[in-house]
Structure 1
């Protein structure tokens, strides 16, 4: 039997806990350490001593390479950031994970929305070509939102109570697709509506196609993600709206582990 991939988790919030649950259900991964960044330094874990080869950085705070590099100094061999990063290379399983090289020590698993959007956009672009597109995600509540109305450092709307409002918000998910699929760089942008549900979100992607295709042809081409064939529409053979559902918590956490397993296989 091949040795298990040993992982540690830094940040035990929603994603950190779900990554732990996914890891505990797998036979090829061993969870060796969990660290929460808000405990005293006396109890923080030296990853090397714990035997953690991979660290999942899921605090939502250490999202750039310089900050994430602290885990390498602590003895970890690789770091996977469970959020978009401004400077770490981003990978989406099923889209560009084969471009990963063993010398990359800090990578990002992108966002949950990018993990839904990128496979959908890749299939459409590979088959029919995308001229340009707009994306809207209807997104469940996250821990960054307010439980009651209050001030927000981001924008006024962001301070509204999450459980009682539909809140328009910005998202970098569509632009991030251009990082995992450079051929689409500059062709997609998008926005978000934060809605008062606990989990499960949906992407609405509207694109202009390079090659004409009926909606039936598009449905036949898509095999990745939970594509809602009945929810999408086509104005004509060159302008379509596609709808795809995604689990922004459990599904995303599963992809984090999938990426780690792939990285480990390449690094052997």
Structure 2
């Protein structure tokens, strides 16, 4: 069983939880967000403006977020070094705040017991991977990696196919957030 902690329960953090629920070999055991009260976490997860109402149950039980009966520990720490990931068994942490996107920032999760950290934003000083493009270059000794940006994940696989089949000499892309 892969046990995951999520730091930041905004759009990306909530989507990570939804995706994890579709895989029986993955369990989200901890969520940290110092800016979102537990009752609002429940509400935002239950009623997603893009994906609609969550089809299962989302409750608050004993100070935890319980999704379909599975209780997830909730933390409210601003500093990742203060999150006790080991207490809930999280080995992998998805850093989805957008704040700790450097090696130094993401490595703070290791102090709380995380073994690996995946940054959900571009990082200037960690290896960056895009599925379908360069994920085969990942090595198991890499403890902190970046999954690039949402724009990169959208554009790069398509650009790779075009480049591999026809070649791309120059390109220009604009993004609006």
Deviation at 1:117, TM superposition (A): 0.8
Over 6 Å off, 4+ runs = none
Structure 2 equivalent of residue 90 of structure 1:
128
Q: Given the superposition, is the C-alpha separation of residues 63 and 93 from structure 1 closer, same or farther in structure 2, using an over 3 Å criterion?
A: same
Structure 2 equivalent of residue 132 of structure 1:
170
The counterpart of 2:93, out of the listed 43, 55, 60, is: 55
Bigger Rg over Cα? 1
Once superposed, what is the RMSD of the aligned Cα atoms?
Answer: 1.5
Structure 1 equivalent of residue 48 of structure 2:
none
Structure 1 equivalent of residue 159 of structure 2:
121
| Gap regions ≥5 residues in structure 1 | 136-190, 195-268
Structure 1 equivalent of residue 49 of structure 2:
none
> Where in structure 2 are the equivalents of 1:15-164 lying within 5 Å?
15-38=12-35, 39=76, 45-135=83-173
CA distance in 2, matches of 1:25, 1:5: 13
CA distance in 2, matches of 1:80, 1:192: 23
Deviations 1:22-71 (A, max 9, x none): 11221120111111144357xx6411222111000011100000010000
Q: 3-state DSSP class of the match of 2:3?
A: strand
Deviation at 1:113, TM superposition (A): 0.8
State the TM-score, normalized to the length of structure 2: 0.71
Deviations 1:206-253 (A, max 9, x none): xxxxxxxxxxxxxxxxxxxxxxxxxxxxxxxxxxxxxxxxxxxxxxxx
Contact 2:151 2:175 (8 Å CA) reproduced: no
The number of residue pairs the alignment matches comes to 134
Contact 1:37 1:59 (8 Å CA) reproduced: no
Q: 3-state DSSP class of the match of 2:171?
A: strand
CA distance in 2, matches of 1:193, 1:68: 26
CA distance in 2, matches of 1:127, 1:8: 39
Deviation at 1:116, TM superposition (A): 1.1
Q: Given the superposition, is the C-alpha separation of residues 193 and 58 from structure 1 closer, same or farther in structure 2, using an over 3 Å criterion?
A: closer
Q: 3-state DSSP class of the match of 1:192?
A: coil
Deviations 1:181-223 (A, max 9, x none): xxxxxxxxxx2245xxxxxxxxxxxxxxxxxxxxxxxxxxxxx
Structure 2 equivalent of residue 192 of structure 1:
175
State the TM-score, normalized to the length of structure 1: 0.48
